[in-house]
C-alpha cells in the first residue's frame, strides 16, 4: 500500500461521512460497487485520476481537496520521507463535531474555548504541545 493512496482514501471516507453518504451511494454515483469504495478508502486500491475526479464531483469538492495538507516531514530532511497528513483530524468524527460546535459559538466564547483547549495541551514533561503549521 502506498501511503499517499492511504491518505487520499482517508479523505474520501471523511468527506463521504461528512456528507452522510454510504459507500453504496458513492459507488453508484461513480459507477463502482461499494466494495471498490472500501478498497479506495483503505488505500488497498489506488484511485485513478478520472475516478478521483468523479468522486470529487459527487462529494462537492475540488480534486486538490484530497491532497491539501499532505506534506513531507520537515524534521526528516535528508532521510527517506513519509508524507505527513496535516488534516488527519478530518477523519475523526469527534474532531469534526467539535469544529462544527465551535463555529456556532459567538467570538467571545470561541476565544474562551480556545484558551481552555490550549491550557489542556501540556505534555507529560511540562512542555506545551504545538499545532503543526
pLDDT digits (tens, 9 = 90+) for 83-115: 666 667 766 778 778 888 888 999 889 889 988
How would you classify residue 132: left for phi > 0, otherwise alpha for psi between -120 and 50, otherwise beta? beta
pLDDT in tens, 32-46: 999 999 999 999 999
Amino acid at each position: 500500500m502506498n501511503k499517499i493512496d492511504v491518505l487520499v482514501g482517508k479523505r474520501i471516507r471523511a468527506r463521504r461521512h461528512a456528507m452522510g453518504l454510504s459507500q453504496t451511494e458513492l459507488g453508484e454515483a461513480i459507477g463502482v460497487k461499494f466494495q471498490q469504495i472500501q478498497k479506495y478508502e483503505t488505500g488497498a486500491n489506488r484511485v485513478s485520476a478520472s475516478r478521483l475526479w468523479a468522486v470529487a464531483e459527487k462529494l462537492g469538492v475540488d480534486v486538490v481537496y484530497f491532497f491539501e495538507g499532505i506534506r513531507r516531514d520537515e524534521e526528516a530532511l535528508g532521510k527517506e520521507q513519509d508524507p505527513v497528513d496535516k488534516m488527519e483530524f478530518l477523519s475523526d468524527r469527534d474532531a469534526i463535531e467539535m469544529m462544527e460546535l465551535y463555529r456556532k459559538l459567538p467570538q467571545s466564547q470561541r476565544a474562551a474555548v480556545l484558551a481552555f483547549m490550549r491550557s489542556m495541551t501540556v505534555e507529560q514533561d511540562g512542555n506545551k504541545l504545538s499545532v503543526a503549521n
